[in-house]
Copies of this chain bind each other. A is one copy, B any other.
């Protein structure tokens, strides 16, 4: 779709909370923009106004790709944010003016959530963002607008999904160990889990199968490699 045909809706945006898993820590995809006065920077979740001809889901996917180059991931809507003061701060306005025609418009945003393997997605800055990068959740800076609030609600939702075993395995490599799954769960949930009990539960769900291969090159007893039962999900 060319710009000429785009019918940008000034009142509705989408924001994407993309969590990235690197086998160690939980990260979030952020963008950085220079402020108008050049000596300060602003961090934000990737997001933008929607186009009238697309669905909200399509908008989320398009915006994420345009801003970060990331596409083809499963983005799930989790909540709309519509406080009339959510875009009110002077610093936000200053920034907004640089790229929106009508920076004072009331904007409600529909927030989306995703979880991906970090190393499969190398974000690339677009003209829109000065920089796109993975930020560790533990040292999250202050974000534009109400984006810290949106992020916190996204994290609650993500954990809820993990507790109910509705997600997670798709983040693992083709072949993985039970230790990998456990570490994933521990990182997302932010707490340690009992090894034996965790294994019992995972194996009972029958979503993974052991292969006849083992890890190599590790400096300890090599673990059996497992693979996803795609048909069972």
Residues of A within 8 A of B (CB): 7, 9-12, 50, 52-57, 59, 77, 79-84, 106, 108, 110
Contacts and interface: CB of A to CB of B under 8 A. Distances in A.
Given A9-B11, A12-B11, A12-B12, A83 B106 contact: no
Given A56-B80, A77-B80, A80-B110, 15 more contacts: A9-B11, A10-B11, A11-B12, A12-B108, A50-B82, A52-B84, A52-B106, A55-B83, A55-B84, A56-B81, A57-B82, A77-B79, A79-B80, A82-B110, A108-B110
A77 B77 CA distance: 13
B52 A82 contact: no
Contacts of A77: 79-80
Nearest to A59: B82
Contacts of A52: 84, 106
Nearest to A78: B79
Contacts of A54: 84
Given A9-B11, A11-B12, A12-B12, A82 B106 contact: no
Contact of A82 (B7, B12, B84): B12
User: Which one of A12, A82, A83, A106 has the highest number of Cβ atoms from chain B below 10 Å of its Cβ?
Assistant: A82
Contacts of A9: 11, 106
A161 to B, nearest CB: 13
Contacts of A56: 80-83, 108
Given A11-B9, A106-B52, A110-B108, A80 B83 contact: no
Contacts of A57: 82
Contacts of A50: 82, 108
Contact of A84 (B11, B53, B83): B53
A157 to B, nearest CB: 13
A80 B76 CA distance: 12
